[in-house]
Structure 1
Amino acid sequence: MNTELFNQAVTELLHRSDSRALVHVEPHFPDSRLVGGKYHMGSHTVYLYKKEIMEQCRMLFGSLAPLKAYIYVILAHELGHAEDVELVDLSNLLDGPLTVSEQAEIRLRIEENAWRYAESLLFDMDPVFLRTIIDESLFSYRQAIEPHIA
């Protein structure tokens, strides 16, 4: 199931980033959601889910033709969470008494931080391809902070 593409992305991006995060490539996400990757702060581990990444790529681009680049993007984003110096503080803020709007703004900032880091790692990637993925990823976070009109 394209194991070599995943291994190549892990090797190259860990080298580029100099990250000390562990990376585990799993066959699929253990839930019914379409989660391609996640970062676990407690263990400083990034998880990539092959089946879901392939499905996301197929849904977004209509085929698996750009799968290699897509894997790099997902991994770079998760490494962005792993290397985010604000993540602990932002996550702790989410445990406090916040309005729905304040929570949404913090969640958006966490995601935007990770995407900024990903962009710095993927300096040689097609910017239109990368922007398509970023915009799709951030859509629901941005929508959550828009004022609601009754």
Structure 2
Amino acid sequence: MKDLQIKSVVDQILIQSGSSVKVELESYFPGERFAGGKYNFASHTITLYIEEIKDQCLQIFSSLDSFEDYLAVVFAHEIGHAEDSQLADLIEQMDACTNDYTRTGIALNIENNAWDYARMLTPQKLHPFMDTIIHYSLQPYYEALEMSA
């Protein structure tokens, strides 16, 4: 997928959402995590990591045939963070929390809020596809909570 097509997908979803979030496109996430996108609360900016998103798509679906849809779902999820009216409070709770189990639960709540919003931006026909992505995305949180329980 060419940069112009990627920008077109991003622009279309951004317009649909009505969000004022700023968007940046990068190749790779600079940290150790396997992140396709990141929302920065302080700057109200989403950064999408295109090569990471491709790698995730390949890992889950074994091909890039669905890359455009995968990109759309990841971006819709990041907009979900940007538009989450509870995010500031949840971040504050996480910052004040000293218990890993509770902290993971708050992080899971943040992720679920973003996925709920993303579902509203995603066409119904893509929901089964999206459910697969959500499963892989949330699995580490559920595993951490089970191990801590």
Q: TM-score range by the shorter chain?
A: over 0.9
Cα distance 1:31–1:98, how it changes in 2: closer, same or farther (>3 A)?
closer
Whose helix fraction is larger, Structure 1's or Structure 2's?
2
Residues in 1 aligned to 2:31 and 2:145: alpha-carbon distance in whole angstroms: 27
Aligned position for 1:22: 22
* Equivalent residues of 1:81, 1:114 under 8 A apart: yes
* Equivalent residues of 2:104, 2:144 under 8 A apart: yes
Aligned position for 2:11: 11
Residues in 1 aligned to 2:56 and 2:101: alpha-carbon distance in whole angstroms: 28
The worse-fitting range, judged by mean Cα deviation, of 118-127 and 48-57 is 118-127
Residues in 2 aligned to 1:28 and 1:146: alpha-carbon distance in whole angstroms: 31
Equivalent position amino acid for 1:62 in 2: S
- Give unmatched runs, 5+ long, in structure 1: none
Aligned position for 1:128: 128
**What percent identity do the matched residue pairs reach?**
40
Cα distance 1:85–1:32, how it changes in 2: closer, same or farther (>3 A)?
same
Displacement, 1:100?
1.5
RMSD: 1.5
Paired residues, what number?
149
- Give unmatched runs, 5+ long, in structure 2: none
Residues in 1 aligned to 2:114 and 2:125: alpha-carbon distance in whole angstroms: 16
- Say which SS state the counterpart of residue 95 (structure 1) adopts: helix
Equivalent position amino acid for 2:113 in 1: N
Structure 1 stretches of 4+ moved >6 Å: none
Residues in 2 aligned to 1:27 and 1:106: alpha-carbon distance in whole angstroms: 29
Aligned position for 1:86: 86
TM-score (norm 1): 0.93
Residues in 2 aligned to 1:68 and 1:60: alpha-carbon distance in whole angstroms: 14
Q: Residue 141 in 1 paired to residue 134 in 2?
A: no
TM-score (norm 2): 0.93
